[in-house]
Structure 1
Amino acid sequence: MKIKQIHHVAYRCKDAKETVEWYVKHLNMNFVLAIAEDEVPSTKAPDPYMHVFLDAGQGNILAFFELPTQPEMGRDTNTPAWVQHLALEVGSMDELLAAKERLVAAGIDVLGPVNHTIFKSIYFFDPNGHRLELAANTGTPDMMKKLDDVKWDMLEEWSKTKRAPRHAAWMHAPAPEGNAQ
């Protein structure tokens, strides 16, 4: 078996209508589908929910559950807020910068662009507290090959030491004078 693609990724939301409207307005996603039940199909537990689906491009679906009878949603307090996030790709740096302008104009706090060498990103939160990243690829085929060549060595070293391997330190090294990354 080989996975074909992600069918959908699901997160919890505080308010399904507010969430759909926010993603349509700020990320230009299309609202695809809504499903509501009083019983969970997989477990048969009595737990009413609204399940909404948004088109995240190229067959990728972002979904949310509103669960009105469950305790207020929170986040894993043992995991830093920057770790759990959804990264969405945009087509260019111009699109990334335009998205940042629109988000900031709408009163949304935006961090970045942050230079990750092979892509640049902006970060912000949706109305549910989920961290989102918009990323524009900037890597070259040579950069990607260099990373591909060391991925297994890096993973092996990390698994033994739990310290950051230096195989790809070039990604965060300052650019030589006159050769900005």
Structure 2
Amino acid sequence: MLIQKIHHVAYRCINAKQTVEWYLKHLGMDFVLAIAEDEVPSTKAPDPYMHVFIDAGMGNVLAFFELPNSPAMDRDHNTPAWTQHIAFEVGSMDELLATKQRLQDAGIEVIGVTDHAIFKSIYFFDPNGHRLELAFNTGTPAMMNQLNSVKWDMLNEWDRTKKAPKHAAWMHDGKGFVEA
């Protein structure tokens, strides 16, 4: 089997209508589809839900479930808030900066622009508490080749030591990429 693409990624939301409107207003993502049932099709559990689908561009779909009969949403308190996030790619640095300004003008706290060497990002939260990232790719073919050449060494070293390998420290150490 060869995976074709991600069909959709689904998260829980507090309010489906508010979520759809927020993603449309702040990120320009169109509302694609809604499905609502009183019973979960896969498990047959009696649990009414609203399942909304939002266009994330190029065939990518972000979906949300509103579950009114479930306990209030919460997050895994053993996982730092910065780790679980959805990252969306934008087409230019100007677009990234303009979106940052629009979000801030709407009262949304934004972190960044953060320079990851191969992309630049901003971070913020949606109304459900999901962390979002907008990223603009800045990596060169040489950078990507360098990262590709060390990925297995890094993974294997991490697996043995649980300490951050330094093969790609240039991404965040302030010294920058040096072409070999």
- Shorter-chain TM-score bucket reads over 0.9
Letter in 1 for 2:167: H
Letter in 1 for 2:44: K
Aligned pairs for 1:22-171 within 5 A:
22-171=22-171
Structure 1 position 175, deviation (Å): 3.4
> What is the rounded CA distance, in whole Å, between the counterparts of 1:33 and 1:172 in structure 2?
40
> What is the rounded CA distance, in whole Å, between the counterparts of 1:104 and 1:161 in structure 2?
41
> What is the rounded CA distance, in whole Å, between the counterparts of 1:116 and 1:171 in structure 2?
6
Percent identity over paired residues = 74
How many residue pairs were aligned? 177
Matched, 1:11 2:23: no
Name stretches of at least 5 consecutive residues in structure 2 with no aligned partner. none
> What is the rounded CA distance, in whole Å, between the counterparts of 2:77 and 2:118 in structure 1?
30
> What is the rounded CA distance, in whole Å, between the counterparts of 1:171 and 1:127 in structure 2?
31
> What is the rounded CA distance, in whole Å, between the counterparts of 2:170 and 2:114 in structure 1?
16
Aligned-pair RMSD on alpha carbons? 1.1
> What is the rounded CA distance, in whole Å, between the counterparts of 1:173 and 1:44 in structure 2?
52
> What is the rounded CA distance, in whole Å, between the counterparts of 1:107 and 1:173 in structure 2?
32
> What is the rounded CA distance, in whole Å, between the counterparts of 2:157 and 2:92 in structure 1?
34
- For the residue of structure 1 that corresponds to 2:48, the secondary structure is strand
> What is the rounded CA distance, in whole Å, between the counterparts of 2:131 and 2:40 in structure 1?
27
Letter in 1 for 2:103: L
- For the residue of structure 1 that corresponds to 2:25, the secondary structure is helix
- For the residue of structure 1 that corresponds to 2:164, the secondary structure is coil
Name stretches of at least 5 consecutive residues in structure 1 with no aligned partner. none
